[in-house]
Structure 1
Amino acid sequence: MGIVERKIRQKQEVRSSILLAAWQLVEREGWQALSIRKIADAIEYSIPVIYQHFDNKEAILLEFIKQGFALLTQELQAARTVSPLPSQQLMDMARAYSKFAFEHKHYYQLMYGMGMPACETVNQVEEMQAFSQVLLQVIGEAIAQSQHPATNDFLKFHTYWSILHGLVSIQMIESQQGPNGWHDQVLEDAVNGFIQSLN
């Protein structure tokens, strides 16, 4: 292995160790407690070394946000393969979304730590775009099969996403134990109402 390849590998290893240490801090203390100094102490490097790899703490958090949306998108894509019907896919994806939020709470809280991502942010982050496209595609297919094919799919996308995020957020505030039977009933009722609104 040449000098250039070795330097590239070493840089990747340091970057990976930064992200690993940061994630361990998030899991232990919460993402609000994350700091460049704590990461540097954890991996026993100086603070300038961290800044060689990430411009600031927000850049590190963005990496985790990307990972979270990529994982969520995989879960939604898997959920939509269970049924060929777009209306049932919307229900299955809603359940998968809720399950993801509580099974990956640290990711979810990072992904939505500042509220719903703005359209400009979604358009700039590939992982968020992929997530949006999964929802938009299924909603578009459901609308196409409805009695009102001229329905605004972008509006319905925001409505659907708001329903899912809103219900998850309420449950997270009410209980640290995760979803309960009542949450599941409310989710089913809300998503069924949404699906009926498409028709």
Structure 2
Amino acid sequence: MGSKERKARNRLKMHKDILHAALNIVKEEGYRSLSLRRLANNIEFSATAVYLYFKNKEALLVDLARLGYQQLNISIDINCKGIIDPRSRLKAMLRTYLDFATHEKDLYLLMQEIGIELNELNPLFPEMLTFVNSINQAITKACGKENSNDTYLKRKCYISMAIVQGLASLNLIHKDLDARSQSQMLDDAIDSLIVSLD
């Protein structure tokens, strides 16, 4: 391996290490408490060194959101592996999404806020598109209608994501919601969605 490749690999590793240190701050204290200077202090770097890897705080937050969607996509792949029935798969995907939103609360909130901000300016980043496309594909297969148009399927895709986002918001506001109630609400909502696909 040449020195150029070694430098590129070291730079990529350092980027990843800084990103994971930032993720730890987000998980412990929320993403609003994150700053590049604070991150630099935590990893014992100069602030200038951190700026070599991230142009500004917004660039760091976007990369954190991308990492969050990568983790969510991996969780969906793991939890839905081997589920062949389209409707059962859709249910498992949405349950995984809610579990992620509940257990990774601060990262989930960051992903939502960054998604809103980016959507106003740019197309969605690849990891977010992968997530949306996987839900859309599950809806398409669960629908089973060859004559369903893209607008109909897209609408159902967004409704399914909105169900989970609404339940995640309820969980944030009403901390007295137990896991069983939340699970039952998700089942009821998904069952209603699935019935509407017929």
More moved, 22-31 vs 131-140: 22-31
Paired residues of 2:69 and 2:127 also in contact (CA < 8 A): yes
The equivalent residue for 2:163 is 163
The equivalent residue for 1:39 is 39
How many residues are paired up? 197
Paired residues of 1:122 and 1:128 also in contact (CA < 8 A): no
Paired residues of 2:98 and 2:168 also in contact (CA < 8 A): yes
More moved, 18-27 vs 153-162: 18-27
The equivalent residue for 1:192 is 191
Change (3 A) 1:57 1:178: farther
Q: 1:102: how far off? A: 2.1
Q: 1:122: how far off? A: 8.1
The equivalent residue for 1:132 is 132
TM-score w.r.t. length of structure 2: 0.85
More moved, 45-54 vs 129-138: 45-54
CA distance in 2, matches of 1:127, 1:11: 21
Match runs of 1:73-112 below 5 Å = 73-112=73-112
CA distance in 2, matches of 1:157, 1:37: 40
Q: 1:114: how far off? A: 5.1
TM-score w.r.t. length of structure 1: 0.84
CA RMSD of aligned residues (A): 2.7
CA distance in 2, matches of 1:61, 1:55: 11
Paired residues of 2:31 and 2:107 also in contact (CA < 8 A): no
CA distance in 1, matches of 2:13, 2:193: 46
Paired residues of 1:90 and 1:138 also in contact (CA < 8 A): yes
Q: Secondary structure at the match of 1:152?
A: helix
Paired residues of 2:101 and 2:108 also in contact (CA < 8 A): yes
Mark the runs of 5 or more structure 2 residues left unpaired by the alignment: none
